[in-house]
């Protein structure tokens, strides 16, 4: 886990490693929370976008499954890749319940999703004794997603398109403020005295 102070408010920005994302998903209390956490950490959705996702929003394309974000920040449309297992879970939820397929999968308020992330972080502080989890918020999942993609050598312009960022400076300053732990490990492997 990487952390950095906010410029103008208390608290810290948090970037999780891939294994820490898995740890967070493992403490989710049920399918709805797991889907909410995964939409942030695996698809880069903002919390307001998480609560709008419906089974109809997952589509197959020639290159794989994508999630349509109809009303992102500024009411802007975008498409972002979605992991196959998450897409399958969303489809299963849609098949299982009685609601129409255009009903949100995470049928909660943004405040509820924020509270879920906070409570999961508190639980992980107790389980891991790592106080860094206490700073975790839902936007950190989006931040983590962008950083992990760039760390996996996805073209930054493509990450910006998938995440709905139009301004490189905003993307760089607020989302890529820390190298992923994986990128740091690759760098450290090059230093023979460590």
pLDDT confidence of residue 152: 85
* pTM: predicted TM-score of the whole model, two decimal places: 0.90
| Per-residue pLDDT tens listing for the chain (194 residues) | 999 998 888 999 999 999 999 999 999 999 999 999 999 999 999 999 999 999 999 999 999 999 999 998 888 999 999 999 999 999 999 999 999 999 999 999 999 999 999 999 999 999 999 999 999 999 999 999 998 998 888 988 999 999 998 888 888 876 665 566 666 777 788 888 76
State which residues form the domain around 71.
Answer: 2-189
C-alpha span between 99 and 93 (Å, rounded): 10
59 and 11 Cβ atoms separated by less than 8 Å: no
In a domain, 170, yes or no: yes
C-alpha span between 107 and 117 (Å, rounded): 16
CATH number at 14 reads 1.10.443.10
In a domain, 68, yes or no: yes
Q: Work out the number of other CB atoms within 10 angstroms of the CB of residue 64.
A: 11
In a domain, 194, yes or no: no
pLDDT confidence of residue 180: 62
pLDDT confidence of residue 179: 63
- DSSP label at residue 132: G
The tally of domains found in the chain comes to 1
pLDDT confidence of residue 153: 84
pLDDT confidence of residue 141: 97
H/E element, 168: helix 168-175
Please state, in angstroms and as integers, the Cα–Cα distance from residue 140 to each residue in 16, 55, 93, 146, following that order.
8, 24, 26, 10
In a domain, 45, yes or no: yes
């Amino acid at each position: 886990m990487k952390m950095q102070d906010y410029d103008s408010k208390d608290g810290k920005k948090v970037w999780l490693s891939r294994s820490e994302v898995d740890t967070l998903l493992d403490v989710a209390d049920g399918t709805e929370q797991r889907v909410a956490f995964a939409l942030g950490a695996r698809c880069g959705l903002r919390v307001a976008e998480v609560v709008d996702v419906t089974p109809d929003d997952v589509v197959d394309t020639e290159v794989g499954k994508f999630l349509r974000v109809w009303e992102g920040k500024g009411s802007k449309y975008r498409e972002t890749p979605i992991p196959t297992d998450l897409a399958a879970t969303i489809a299963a939820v849609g098949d299982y319940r009685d609601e129409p397929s255009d009903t949100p999968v995470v049928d909660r308020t943004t405040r509820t999703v924020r509270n879920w992330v906070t409570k999961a972080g508190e639980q992980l502080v107790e389980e891991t004794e790592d106080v860094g989890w206490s700073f975790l918020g839902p936007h950190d999942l989006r931040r983590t997603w962008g950083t992990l993609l760039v760390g996996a050598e996805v073209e930054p312009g493509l990450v910006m398109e998938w995440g709905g960022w139009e301004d490189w400076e905003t993307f760089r300053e607020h989302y890529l403020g820390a190298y992923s732990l994986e990128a740091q490990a690759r760098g450290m492997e090059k230093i023979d005295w460590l």
